[in-house]
Amino acid sequence: MKIDKSLHDDYATLTLKGDFDTFYCPALMQEVDALIDRGVSMLILDMHVVKFINSTALGAVIKAHKRCRAEGGDLVVAQPSAFVKNVMKNVGIDKLIGMHETLAEATKAIVKQLNQRELAGTGTADHEKVLITFPDEVRNRMIPRQQLVHTGTKSLVGQMANVDGDRVQFTWSFEKAGMSAEQGKELFFSGSDAHLKFQVKLIKKSYFEVDAVIANAEATADGMRVTAHFKKIADGDRDALAQFAADMAFLKRQLPGK
């Protein structure tokens, strides 16, 4: 089986080609994990040329769907072949995962979810990834080697909770990073510097990159909730983030039940 990947602003399409059996399950999960690491958790599986799928591969599709949902996203199937459609319906997977006859219908469903998420204030900043790097070797030596990103830099990945023109709040799981709670406290101690890279897709497609100072870090069930104040940020970026926070606060007040 071959997997072709097409990246869009807020979602991705994975086109599967050939027989999808046990051997190719890890390849699918690697693609899904790599996309989620980039902050893309809304996925379309285009299966119009999948001639065969076995039970293990069906399990991999369900696992990928759950992985996306856990990150606040979704996974849908587009234009399944007759064989795939029949198997998925017989097993009942169509009741769990959205199935669409055409790629256009699947794309429309994903975009609709993205729009609803943004208007609800849960998809524009919440669930976005925050890439965290430290300027000093002491803390860098504490980070496991497996945290090397593609640039060769040791980085940690957090999940944004809130952002405005002066600060950003994010959560970070020491368990997922293969570290201890004590190491987490040592990494995010009050007054320490950090470089942060993140997206707010309603503002711009490119990334914000800022130098920040850790104000505090509160313990959570498996990690920390960190507040960092911007130390060095472009004036235009600060103004854009401040406007974004004001706009989202207004929108939330207008929504029913808010």
DSSP 131-157: EEE-SSHHHHHHS-GGGB-TTS-B-EE
Helix pair 25-37, 55-70: axis angle to 10 deg:
10
Query: Residue 223: what pLDDT?
Result: 85
Task: Report the 10 Å Cβ neighbour count for 218.
Answer: 12
| pLDDT range class, residue 109, cuts 50, 70, 90 | very high
Whether the CB-CB separation of 160 and 174 falls below 8 Å is answered with no
Sign (positive or negative) of CA dihedral 154, 156, 160, 164 = negative
Phi and psi of 203, rounded to 5°?
-95, -55
| pLDDT range class, residue 150, cuts 50, 70, 90 | very low
Whether the CB-CB separation of 129 and 159 falls below 8 Å is answered with yes
pTM greater than 0.85? no
Whether the CB-CB separation of 87 and 52 falls below 8 Å is answered with no
Token representation of residue 148: 């090397």
pLDDT exceeds 70 at position 121: no
Query: Residue 66: what pLDDT?
Result: 93
Question: Side chain identity at 245, as an amino acid letter?
Answer: A
Supply the Cα-derived Rg of the chain in whole angstroms.
20
- Residues 187-243: pLDDT tens digits? 999 999 999 999 887 677 678 999 999 999 998 877 899 999 999 999 999 999 998
Average pLDDT, the chain: 86
- Residues 58-98: pLDDT tens digits? 999 999 999 999 888 899 999 999 999 999 998 889 999 99
Query: Residue 75: what pLDDT?
Result: 96
Query: Residue 17: what pLDDT?
Result: 94
Eight-class DSSP state of 93? G
| pLDDT range class, residue 133, cuts 50, 70, 90 | very high
DSSP 44-55: EEEEEEEEEE-H
Helix (H/G/I), strand (E/B), else coil: 215: strand
* Cα separation, 243 vs 225, whole angstroms: 24
Query: Residue 123: what pLDDT?
Result: 44
> To which residue do tokens 């496991």 refer?
144
Tally of helices (H runs) and strands (E runs) in the chain: 7, 11
* Cα separation, 89 vs 227, whole angstroms: 47
Phi and psi of 214, rounded to 5°?
-70, 120
* Cα separation, 46 vs 102, whole angstroms: 9
Whether the CB-CB separation of 44 and 18 falls below 8 Å is answered with no
Distances (CA, A) of 197 to 15, 127, 206: 30, 14, 10
The residue with greater pLDDT, 171 or 153, is 171
